[in-house]
Amino acid sequence: MPLRNPKALPNPTLDSSWAAASEAVLIALNSAPTGLTEAAVLEARRRYGLNTMTSRSHRSDAALLWAQVASPMMLMLASAAVVSLAVGSSTDAAIIVAIVVLSVLIGFSQERAAAHAVARLMARVAVNTVVVREGREREIPIADLVPGYIVRLRAGHLVPADAALLSSTALHVDEAALTGESLPTEKRAGPVPSDTPLAGRLGSLWFGTHVVSGIATAVIVKTGAETAFGAIAARLNTAPPPSDFQRGISAFGALLVKVTTALVFAIFAANMYFHRPFLESFLFAVALAVGLVPELLPAIVGVTLAAGARRMAKRGVIVKRLAVIENFGSMNVLCSDKTGTLTEGKVQLNGALDVSGAPSTPVLRYAAINAAFETGFSNPIDAALRAALPNPGGVSRLGEVPYDFIRRRLSVLVNDLDSASVGAVLVTKGALRDVLAVCTHARLPDGGSVPLSSLESSVLERFHAMSEQGLRVLGVATRSMPTATGVAAADEAGMTFEGFLAFADPPRPDAAALVAELRALEIRLQIITGDNAAVATRVARAVGIPSPVVVTGQALHALSEAASSRR
């Protein structure tokens, strides 16, 4: 049976977000857990082509050359050269042609070199992936992938195309290239609502992201330009509208054409009215037309823009179109992401606090023990805790309940010889509300404990206050289990809440100076982020934006194009 085009599937939600069970995805793609047959691969490759990001707006050398010529100014100069040659002014014609050729070659050579540099960079991105075909694993170039292929992924692998998860174990994927999130996303197979944002589609894998930990089996759903990354690339590669600079040059050229034409006809007509010799009147009009044309203007513009492109090239920036140099210089609004651009992109421990909000060494020690003995995904939060307290000491590991998306907690059972408790202690950390859900008591600063119900409101108030400061807040809890030798998720009950862990992604040291420099240049900085509004506001103020207007990713997505331009 020939492979159907996913864009023509009867279930639109499968095409938009693959909001179906894995079996339905396989059926829709005429695939199976054993992979595609050789015949199905050939048919799919004929139908879908290669899994590449070929630019739809790629222009040939001839098109690049014509783009340099097709302007009113150039056409007017070329016309002047032709007329000069026709009336015998070969020297004038040669000078004008030389200027036109120089201007065209400057722009053509710069844009051609930039296009080839981009092509060379793209050619370097060539990797293989492991697929299942007719029940056997084999390695193929990602360019050969087609919808329906079954792929195997593990830590370090690039996700080779948009895919739907069939199965996974402790799978975490870095999606920063698409979502901007600094922390990897846990992925698991299963359907999701059709209106779920891209970052929330836990059963989907996206081309351009990469696996940080775990293993997975997935079925390829979309390839090449049909992927989410390809759609973004296509929008970026569409022919951009002319810039203000280009419109200004074109308008000036059109004005010159009109003025020159009008003057030539008016003067020629006046000469004819006064019965001047026809040839003398015509030559005079032509000389006037040639004299009115600013022959050196295109060359001056081209040389100036090329000089700017060379200066940017020395800083590692490829300028594909010379006209954007002027756009760059006249910029008055700069849109930037937050994570890794204005911030360091690294999670740092801001504080380990008890229920009263005071720094707490026991809370830090429990958190460091939990981070030191977990064996799953080594995430930035655990790395920050291990850096804060590298060697908790006096502890041996007895068991672990790994983190999962449902519980949003991670627990380790340890034999803590330095603890006041006798025997094993279960140490849990995770999302604060999910930690509180398994606690019945709270630890006081003096070491005693009280029922959690008496402090829960103040704990949540402190949590909200820290969140509004742009901090990511986790909870830490413990439970004494003297005779335990192993642990299960059911043991996360009747625990004592120990305190808070607050993490921050601090601003880059040079961010405030850069923002101040932008302000001095009268350039307004707009932050676009997928993070929560409180974090974005805090970072904006920290880098010198006193009254930031924050629009979340969801709110921006809901705005019309006209409304978003006014933000």
Q: Show which residues are catalytic.
A: 337
Q: What is the gyration radius of the CA atoms in the chain, in angstroms?
A: 33
Write phi, then psi, for 294 (nearest 5 degrees): -80, 85
3-state SS of 264-333 is HHHHHHHHHHCCCCHHHHHHHHHHHHHHHCCCHHHHHHHHHHHHHHHHHHCCCCCCCCCCHHHHHHCCCE
Return the bridge partners of 524, or none: 333
Closest CA to 10 of 27, 23, 33, 32: 27
Closest CA to 218 of 209, 111, 242, 226: 209
Closest CA to 162 of 122, 201, 196: 201
- What is the DSSP code (8-state) at residue 89? -
Closest CA to 83 of 283, 259, 273: 283
C-alpha torsion 45→49→51→56, nearest 10: -170
Instruction: Round to whole Å and give the CA distance between 279 and 277.
Output: 6
Q: What SS3 state is found at 162?
A: strand
Distance of CA 161 to the CA centre of its chain: 16
